[in-house]
Amino acid sequence: MTPAISVRPITLEQYLNQTQGLDARYELFNGALLEMPPESDENNDIATYLMFELAKHFPIKRLAQKNTEIEVSGQHVSCRIPDLLVHSEGSKAAIAGTKRATITHDMPPPLLVVEVVSPGQANRDRDYRYKHTEYMARGIAEYWIVDPELRQVTVCRWDNGMYEDRVFVKDEHIQSTLIPEWKLSPGQILSAD
């Protein structure tokens, strides 16, 4: 009988060292490296469109697109790279001058995280289930799930320690506590022209 091979979860420090300077993008999920495939052209267009729209409401320096990672809770250490985020003043100040834009547990969370769902059940589970729980536990004020396949935007708002989720479709104006004057709808975001 062959003994089971145990793979030890890696630490945040090991993850940062192992992925430094690599061309591929990786996330850390429960202590294991996950290579993230390149995004589809549609997902990139949606994220870029949203970044330009968010720049109308927040200083450019507080916006990040696929280049800032967030340490989140899990069974073991996890680190996510959202498609788009809006820094809080505290999270931006905390990473200023660091070699790598990583928001660790000892730093304030960003204000908003946006994920554009890629095709496939594994991606849907990651964005709707795992990241939902991780971002909620991290205390991020709002988490938006932009779903091109279902043609909807789910806004998860922090309320008394939990996320309250609301799904917006078609021409409904997305309601955000961070951007009360927001006038965009899922239809506008998902056409991203």
Q: Tell me what pLDDT residue 170 has.
A: 96
Rounded to two decimals, the pTM is 0.90
pLDDT one-digit tens code per residue, 117-168: 998 898 999 999 999 999 999 999 999 999 999 999 999 999 999 999 999 9
More confident residue, 161 or 110: 110
Q: Please state whether 169 falls in left (phi above 0), alpha (psi between -120 and 50) or beta.
A: beta
pLDDT one-digit tens code per residue, 73-86: 877 788 999 999 99
Residue 38, both tokens? 């390149």
CA 154 to CA 162: how far, in whole Å?
15
With bands split at pLDDT 50, 70 and 90, how would you rate the model's confidence at 4? very low
pLDDT one-digit tens code per residue, 93-102: 999 999 899 9
Residue owning tokens 């899990």: 74
Q: Of all helices (H) and strands (E), which one includes residue 103?
A: strand 102-103
CATH superfamily of 39-191: tt1808, chain A (3.90.1570.10)
Calculate mean pLDDT across residues 11-38. 87
Contact 10, 28 (CB under 8 A): yes
| Rounded-to-5 percentages of helix, strand, coil across the chain | 30, 25, 45
Average pLDDT, the chain: 91
Residue 49, both tokens? 């469109």
Residue type, 94: A
CA 162 to CA 146: how far, in whole Å?
20
What is the pairing mode between strands 102-103 and 69-72? parallel
